Structure 1
Amino acid sequence: MRISVKAPAKINLTLDVLYKRPDGYHEVEMVMTTVDLADRVDLWPLASDEIRLECSASYVPDDMRNHAYKAALLLKERFGVKQGVRIYIEKQIPVAAGLAGGSSDAAATLRGLNKLWELGLSLDELAEIGAEIGSDVPFCVYGGTALATGRGEKIALLQAPPPCWVILAKPPIGVSTADVYGNLRLHEGTPHPPTGDMLAAVRTQDFGLMCRSLGNVLEEVTVELYPQVRQIKELMAASGADGVLMSGSGPTVFALVQKEAKVQRIYNALRGFVKDVYVARILGCAEAEILA
């Protein structure tokens, strides 16, 4: 028996950091949504009591450094599961890109193993377990669109944003989320994204307001460390994108485009500058992601 689970990438329509908490984490407020750029996680039962992880990308770790492996081990130990599992990840989402690829793989593993091992856990219970793995995992368990608060683990589901094309471009660099947060200096003049306006844009399906409300408080930190991010943003805007923003802690930048005629022009302009360019659509609503 094989179970296949779709693991979609996420983008941040807004990312605000409010303050640093006593526990060392940052209090955040983010509107996130899924796009149809996705990994696939395949799961098979093993007779032997072990976790065996393989990935189409050779540079992805196959041990506790991998969020999907952590997810399997956590479920196994928490519920005393004696059956083993083979996990195969077909990677499409770039690594260390600000698109929650590893977190989405972990969430897909949680959902798939819940079925494979017949644990009978609800999405809320899986999300609570996922929060022990990483701050983006709870959102990825639910999928769709949500307002995330706390350290990112408190999820309020939203309706899908206005439909549009999403062009994503990742420069050939990896960004450490810890380094970006470590270099963030919040002060009285720090510009914060208009989260309320973004929520209104989603609620009223106002594409123009959605584009005007894009904002990421981490962006200025990342562009100072990696000027390529600013160059991609400027190129997207000059090529006619309706809205442009860096996702997560970067380095991936995305452009929102409503008219399909603009998509190829922006894609071609970016391909002359960076290799990793992807065209996707906003998924926006949670879908049945267990494929088999």
Structure 2
Amino acid sequence: MEIKSRAKINITLDVLNKREDGYHNVKMIMQTVDLYDVLHLEKIENGIEIKTNLPYLPTDEKNIAYKAAQLFFNTLDINDAGIKINIQKNIPVAAGLAGGSTNAAAVLIAMNKMFKTSLNTDQLMQMGKKLGADVPYCILGGTALAEGIGDILTLLPPMPTAIVVLAKPPISVSTAHIYGKLKVENITMRPDTEAIINAIYNQDIIAIARGMYNVLEAVTAKEYRVINRIKNIMLGSGALGSIMSGSGPTVFGIFEHEVSARKAVNKLRTIASDIFVVNTYNSNYGER
């Protein structure tokens, strides 16, 4: 089976407080975009085999796709089969785009079909939660409000189709490091999540783009000035709005017109190592 494993962006990201277990309670609007890895899965007699086009990625139990396959077999008590997974990575690694989480989600979705186990979306998301906070959303896909640690999901109406420019500078950012630097009590600006949800219901792309906000951006941008440089280029090229995705370092801009998007791309080439022009992608799990 071949399956596409799509990236996500954060339209909003608010951190409410730190929990006793070390995680943070968040409130954020997530959106799938049409940038994807391609996974090819094949049944084998036993074991789990991972191959990838990136030589520096682990292919053992350190790879989250491996962990997903192992969890699937263990949860469903499947002992007489194995799986070979070939991952063609296109989503940048450690970029704030859920590249690993979406691979894990794709493995669970594909294996559920290949092994005819008939798990529903909620069951797959509960399984995915054991792998990481973003995995349940990556299983669901589309436009959604994420709460709790990111695992309590409310599906929203599809966001209006928009042109999205993604730009990742040549740095990698640790999510744990950024959350470790965040002082929740010092947050003075937060996204108006409810206003964005209303704008989504009204299909108002201008209000959505102008209201986007990510509280982690100030933390990451303090350490990496390139974040604001990319944002300024996006906005100066005609983006309706521009923010960092997740804990970074990828910055995205929402554009109404292809010409403006291409203008931004040309200006970003000197400071970004990975640049993509994509569209929002609105099919959720039930429609794939």
Regarding TM over 0.5, the answer is yes
AA of the residue aligned to 1:44? E
- 1:9 deviation in Å? 0.3
- How does 1:65-104 map onto structure 2 within 5 Å? 65-82=62-79, 83-104=81-102
- 1:284 deviation in Å? 2.5
- How does 1:94-173 map onto structure 2 within 5 Å? 94-173=92-171
Distance 2:98 2:122 in 1: 19
- How does 1:20-99 map onto structure 2 within 5 Å? 20-47=18-45, 49-82=46-79, 83-99=81-97
TM-score normalised to structure 2 length: 0.97
Distance 1:251 1:289 in 2: 31
C-alpha contact 1:5 1:289 (8 A) present in aligned 2: no
- 1:61 deviation in Å? 1.2
Distance 2:106 2:51 in 1: 15
Residue-by-residue CA offset, 1:90-141 (whole Å, 9 max, x unaligned): 1110000000010000000000011111211111100000000000000000
TM-score normalised to structure 1 length: 0.95
Distance 2:68 2:57 in 1: 16
Calculate the aligned-residue CA RMSD, in Å.
Answer: 1.3
Gap runs ≥5 in structure 2: none
Residue-by-residue CA offset, 1:135-170 (whole Å, 9 max, x unaligned): 000000011110000000111111111111000000
**Hey, what does 1:4 align to over in structure 2?**
2
Say which is worse superposed, 280-289 or 147-156, in terms of deviation. Answer: 280-289
Distance 2:248 2:225 in 1: 12
- 1:285 deviation in Å? 3.0
Q: Percent identity?
A: 45
Q: Which runs of 4+ in 1 moved over 3 A?
A: 287-290
Q: Give the paired residue count.
A: 287
C-alpha contact 1:163 1:258 (8 A) present in aligned 2: no
C-alpha contact 2:237 2:261 (8 A) present in aligned 1: no
User: Would you say 1:270 and 2:240 are equivalent positions?
Assistant: no
Distance 1:114 1:239 in 2: 44
Residue-by-residue CA offset, 1:249-275 (whole Å, 9 max, x unaligned): 000000100112211111111113223
- 1:189 deviation in Å? 5.1
Residue-by-residue CA offset, 1:156-186 (whole Å, 9 max, x unaligned): 1111111110000001111000000000012
C-alpha contact 1:6 1:289 (8 A) present in aligned 2: no
